[in-house]
Structure 1
Amino acid sequence: MKTDYFPKEISGTIYDATPIKGGVLSIDIHSNSKDDGISIRNSDMIFKNIKNGTYLKKIPNTNKCFIIKGDSIMYFNCYVFSKEDSAKIGKIKNWNLNLTNHWILKK
């Protein structure tokens, strides 16, 4: 399960975001070399902030994603898992909770 979710790095400009049953958002991205896609499972607040034209990056081998819009950045964990799934996956790298799910100015 861990290898299914966390090895991939993806970054680029979002050109399509489609909600899917079960609280998943399918995102298509124009990256530097090709078009690519990722599914995000997080809160509705993140879904409302992911729009076409927004830059998204998922950091490889972690649960860390962020989006950039203008001079602001929002850090969020790409997936929110149940306790059972978390037990199966084991330790994963997440953002510090004080940093996530709100816009802050880029440095």
Structure 2
Amino acid sequence: MKNYRSVEVNILGKNYRYKVNEPEEVINKILEEIKSEVEDYSRKIGSDKIDYILLLMLLNEKLNTIKTRQEIKDLIAKFSKSLNTTLNPFIETPENNDENKSVSWDEK
């Protein structure tokens, strides 16, 4: 069983406490980034809108996660295609059809 410990962060005068099992340096970095971002947003739209700010940040993180997953899928597909082309040069693909072969002969 993992060891959970309590962490606390104060954002805009309100304490938030969580139980975590990640390394302290990772959690501290994340909490500091969140605190800083919330404080930046609060200066722009008001500190009384903490729920709005936190939801906005959550939406941005989810959007970034979706984009990153798609980029990773695209990179895997590109790498797989490149690897297959390199390892299997004689498999016919649109890029590697008869017209694109450097060596060919006609049977008579």
Under TM normalisation by the shorter chain, which class is it? Answer: under 0.3
TM-score (ref. length: structure 1): 0.26
Q: Does 1 or 2 have the higher relative contact order (CA < 8 Å, sep 6+)? A: 1
More helix by share: 2
More strand by share: 1
TM-score (ref. length: structure 2): 0.26
